[in-house]
Amino acid sequence: MIMRKRIVAGNWKMNMEIGSARELARSVCNDLATRADLGLGKGKEVVLFPPYLFLPEVVEICREFVGIHAGAQNCHQEGKGAYTGEIAASMIKSVGATHTLIGHSERRSYFGEDDELLAKKTKAAMENDLTPVFCCGELLPEREANNHFEVVKSQLVNGLFWLEEVAFRHVVIAYEPVWAIGTGVTASPEQAQEMHAFIRGLVKEQYSEEVAENLTILYGGSCNAKNAKELFSNPDVDGGLIGGASLKAHDFLQIIEAL
Ligand code: PEP
DSSP letter at 40 equals: B
Residue 159 lies in a domain: yes
What tens digit of pLDDT does each residue of 185-201 get? 999 999 999 999 999 99
> What is the 74 CA–ligand 1 centroid distance (Å)?
15
Give the position, in ligand 1's atom list, of the atom nearest the Cα of 183.
10
In one-letter notation, the amino acid at residue 216 is T
Confidence of residue 89 (pLDDT cuts 50, 70, 90): very high
Supply the pLDDT for residue 189.
97
pTM metric for this prediction = 0.97
Query: Ligand 1 atom 6: the closest Cα is on which residue?
Result: 243
Pick from 8, 181, 219, 227 the residue to mutate for probing ligand 1's pocket: most ligand atoms within 8 Å of its CB: 181
Residue 177 lies in a domain: yes
Is 69 designated active site? Answer: no
241 within ligand 1 shell (Cβ under 6 A): yes
Q: Are 63 and 26 in contact (CB under 8 A)?
A: no
Residue 1 lies in a domain: no
- Rg, Å, the chain Cα set: 17
What tens digit of pLDDT does each residue of 5-38 get? 999 999 999 999 999 999 999 999 999 999 999 9
Is 45 designated active site? Answer: no
Judged against a pLDDT cut of 90, whether residue 63 lies above it is answered with: yes
Supply the pLDDT for residue 3.
94
What tens digit of pLDDT does each residue of 199-217 get? 999 999 999 999 999 999 9
Q: Are 232 and 217 in contact (CB under 8 A)?
A: no
Judged against a pLDDT cut of 90, whether residue 1 lies above it is answered with: no
Structural domains of the chain, count: 1
181 within ligand 1 shell (Cβ under 6 A): yes
Q: What CATH number is given to the structural domain containing 119?
A: 3.20.20.70
In order of 61, 119, 155, 168, 193, the CA distances from 200 in angstroms are 34, 19, 14, 13, 10
Query: Ligand 1 atom 4: the closest Cα is on which residue?
Result: 243
Query: Ligand 1 atom 7: the closest Cα is on which residue?
Result: 243
Give the three-class secondary structure for 94: helix
Supply the pLDDT for residue 120.
98
What tens digit of pLDDT does each residue of 36-48 get? 999 999 999 999 9
Query: Ligand 1 atom 1: the closest Cα is on which residue?
Result: 243
Q: Give residue 106's Cα distance to chain centre.
A: 13
Residue 174 lies in a domain: yes
**Which residue range forms the structural domain that includes residue 80?**
6-257
